[in-house]
Chain A
Amino acid sequence: MDFEYTSDQQLLRDSVTRLLTDKYDFESRKRYLAAGGRSREIWHQFAELGLLGLPFGESEGGLGAGAVELLIVMEAFGRHLVLEPYLATIVLGGGCLRYGASTQLRQEVLPQLIGGTHLAAFAHSERQARFDLADIATTARRSGKDWVLNGAKKYVLHGASADYLIICARVSGEQRDRHGLALFVVDARSSGLERRGYLTQDGTSAADLTLSDVHVDGGRLIGDPDSALPIVEKVVADGIAAACAEAVGAMERAFEMTVDYLKTRKQFGTTIGSFQALQHRAVDMLVALEQARSMALYAAMMSSEPDVEARNQALSAAKVQICRSARFIGEQAVQLHGGIGVTEECQVGHYYRRLTMLELLFGDAAHHLSLLTATGSESTSATPPST
C-alpha cells in the first residue's frame, strides 16, 4: 500500500498545473467561453504535452498511462474549471474505441484524437432513460452492409463540435434489456443527423441529436452487435472516476478560496475567520474534501478492477461520497462568501455550478445509493479490494 505519486506522475502534475496556471486563469476562461465554449489553442497544447494520448496504447501513438494519471489531469482541470472536451473525447469517446473497436478502426481514428485534429463525443443518454445505461430506444437495423440508425440522444457532451459521435443504439431486444446494444462510430457530417448545440449551467458544451435514417458503414461498428453494454459500463466507470477527480479539484479550489476569504474579509472590526462558528464550518468543509479525495483515489483504483460487480459497487460508493461532499462544500463556499458569493463576478459560484453539474453526471447520490442497496452486497470490504 502506497499513496505517493511516482516521479513521472509528479512531473505530469507539475506540467499540467503550469500550463493551466498560465493559460486558464478565470479571465482567460471567460474569453474561451465567449469564443464558443473552448480554446483550440489550449487543445493543441494538450496534444503537445501528451495529455490527449495519455490512456491510449503506445502502438496507437498514446502513452499507455493508467487511472492515476487520469486522476491527476482531471483534478487539475477541476481546479481551473476547464471547459475543453477531454472527458468527452479522450475518456468517453476514445474509451469506447480503446475498449471495443477493431484494430483498423482504432488505427484510423485514435491518431486523429491523440493529435488533437479531431474530436469525439459519446452519444448515449436518452430522454426517457434518466441514469439507466441499458435504457436505449434508438434503433439500428441492417441494410445491406450498412446499419441504419433512428432515434434521439440528449446531453451529449461536446456533441455539437465533435467530428465523431460514438452512438449507442439497440439492434435487438426490449427498450431496457441489457443485451442487444451496439456502439457505432458515426461521422458527424452524416446525412439524417441533426445536432442542437447548447451550453450546460456551468458553460460546458453539449448537444441533443436527432437521427433519421442515418446510414453507418458496417465497419464502423465497435465490437460485436449485441454486446455493447459491458463496454459502455466500463467507459462510464472511467467517466465516473474522472468526474470524481474533477470534482475533487473543484472542491479543493472552492475551499481554498473560501478559507482565503475568511482571512481577508473584515466585519465587526476583525477578520471573519476569527469567528469560531465559521472556523468550524471551514473544518467541516476540509473533512468533506478529504473524504471525497479518498473516494476519488478509490474510484481511480477500482475503475480498472476486472470483477465488474466489485468495480461498479466501488464506483457507486465513490460517486455517493463525491456528490455529498460536493453539495456541502459548494453550498458552504457560497454561504461563507456572503452576498458576493451569489454573484456572477465572484469565482466561487462558478465552482458551485460546476460541482452541481458533476453531481448529476453519470447519476446523482440517490441513484448510486439505490444501486448499492439493490445489489445488496457490501460496499465496504474488510480491506482495500485486491485483484
Chain B
Amino acid sequence: MDLRFTTDELAFRAEAREFFRTALPAPLRSKCILGQRLTREELKLWQGILNNKGWATPAWDPEWGGTGWSAVKQYIFKEELHMAPAPEPLSFNVNMIGPTLIAFGTPEQKRRFLPKIASLEYWFCQGFSEPGAGSDLASLRTQAQRDGDHYVINGQKLWTSTAHFADWCFLLVRTDPQARKQQGITYLLMDMKTPGITVRPIITLDGHHETNEMFLENVRVPVENRLGEENKGWDYAKYLLGHERSGIARVGVSKLRVRRAKELATRVLAGGRPLSEDSGFRQRVAALEVELKALEITQMRVISESMHSASGKPDPKASILKMKGSELQQAATQLLLEVAGYDAMEYDGEFLRGVSRAHPDDTDWALTVAPNHYWIRHVSIVGGSNEIQRNILAKQVLDL
C-alpha cells in the first residue's frame, strides 16, 4: 500500500499541468475562473485542442482513440483539468454515447460516429427523461413505431440539456408497450435536423438557457441508427451506471472553489479585518477541506480497487462519490456566496454569459456567485438524484 503517486505518475501530472497552462486559451481560462457560461464555439474550440493532442477521450478503448492511461492517470488528468481550470470535454459525447457505442455499436456505426464524437463535430444531447419519467426513468412513454426501414417517434423529452447546440441526440423510446417497462425500450441515435423535432428553452434558476424540452412529432429515424437490438435499450442505458469513476466526485472543482474563496476572503473586510482572519470563517473552510481530503482519498481507493478487480463490474461505491461529491460542490459554492456578501446581490445575465461590464469593478467576480449557487443545486439531482443513489447503495451494498 502506498498512497503516494509514483515518479511516473508525478511526471505525468507535471506534463498535464503544463499542457493545460499553455494550451488553454486565456479568455476561456478567465471565464472558467469567474464561473461564466461558455458558448458553443468556445467548447468546440477547446475540445478540438484536446482532440488534436489526443486527450479528448482518455477513457475510451485505445482502438477508438483512448489514451490507454491507467485509472490513476485518468484521475490525475481530470484533477488537473478541474484545477486548471479548464472546461470538461462534452460529457454527453465523451462519457456517455462514446463508451456506449464502443460497447454496443456496429463496426459501421463506430467508424461513422466515434471520430466526430471525439472532435465534437457531432454534438450529442441526451433524450432520456420525460415529464413522467425522471427518477423512474423506465416508465418513459415516448413511442417509436416501425415503418419499413424507419422508426417513427412521437412523444416528449425533458431536460435535454444543450439540445439547442446539438447535432445529434441519443434517446430512449418505447417500442413494445406490452412488455414489462424495462423490456420494451429501444436506444436510438437521432439527427437533430430531422423534421418534427421542436426544442423549447427551459430557463433555470441561474437565469441561463442550458436545458430544454423537446417535442417529437412523427420524427423518422432510420433503423440503421438503432443501437444494438430492439427492446434492449435499457441494458445499454444502464451500462454506464457505476462505470464512470474518474472525476465523478469533482474534488478538483470543489478544491479550486475553496481555494478561490480563501483568496477572495483576503480582499473582503468583515468588522474592519479581512474575512480570511475571521475564526468562524476559517473553521468552516477547514471543515470543508477535511471532508474534501477524505473524499479525494475515497475516490482514489475506488480507482485503485478498479485496477485490481478483474471483473470490470461496476462499483456501487461510485454512488458514494456522486453523493458526497455533489454535496461538497454545493458547500464550496456556498462558501463563495458567504465571501461575496452583498456583492452577490446584483443580477447581470450578460456578465454571466461572459460580456464585460461597461465600468469594470474589482467586485465583478461576485456577479456570478449567486447564479452558480442556484445552478449547483442540479448536481445532486441529475444522473440519479442523491436519494436514488441512497436507494442504490441500500440495495446493492447493504442488501436491504
Contact = CB atoms under 8 A, between A and B. Distances in A.
Interface stretch (A89-97, A137-145, A196-204, A378-386): A378-386
A386 B11 CA distance: 13
Given A279-B391, A380-B289, A286 B400 contact: no
Given A273-B400, A283-B393, A301-B3, A290 B320 contact: yes
Given A1-B300, A279-B390, A386 B283 contact: no
Given A3-B301, A279-B390, A380-B289, A387 B400 contact: no
Interface stretch (A180-188, A207-215, A368-376): A368-376
A386 B4 contact: yes
Contacts of B398: 259, 279, 282-283, 286
A282 B283 CA distance: 28
Interface in B294-331: 294-298, 300-301, 304-305, 308, 317, 320, 323-324
Interface residues of B, number: 49
Interface string B1-35: 11111100110010000000000000000000000
Interface string A349-387: 000000000000000000001101100101110111111
Interface residues of A, number: 47
Nearest to A263: B400
A376 B285 CA distance: 10
Nearest to B276: A376
Given A298-B297, A372-B290, A291 B5 contact: no
Given A2-B304, A290-B317, A282 B282 contact: no
Contact of A294 (B255, B297, B308): B297
Given A262-B400, A273-B400, A295-B293, A290 B298 contact: yes
Interface in B220-251: none
Interface string A289-330: 011111101100100000000000000010011000000000
A371 to B, nearest CB: 9
User: Which residue of B308, B317, B324, B394 has the most chain A CB atoms within 10 A of its CB atom?
Assistant: B394
Contacts, number: 145
Interface in A236-280: 259, 262-263, 273-274, 276, 279-280
B348 interface: no
Nearest to B319: A283
A68 interface: yes
A384 B255 CA distance: 13
B10 A386 contact: yes
B397 interface: yes
A27 interface: no
Nearest to A289: B320
12 contacts: A1-B5, A4-B1, A4-B304, A5-B1, A263-B400, A279-B400, A290-B320, A320-B287, A321-B290, A321-B291, A372-B286, A373-B282
Interface of B: 1-6, 9-10, 13, 72, 79, 83, 255, 258-259, 279, 282-283, 285-287, 289-298, 300-301, 304-305, 308, 317, 320, 323-324, 387, 390-391, 393-394, 397-400
Interface of A: 1-6, 9, 68, 259, 262-263, 273-274, 276, 279-280, 282-284, 286-287, 290-295, 297-298, 301, 317, 320-321, 369-370, 372-373, 376, 378-380, 382-387
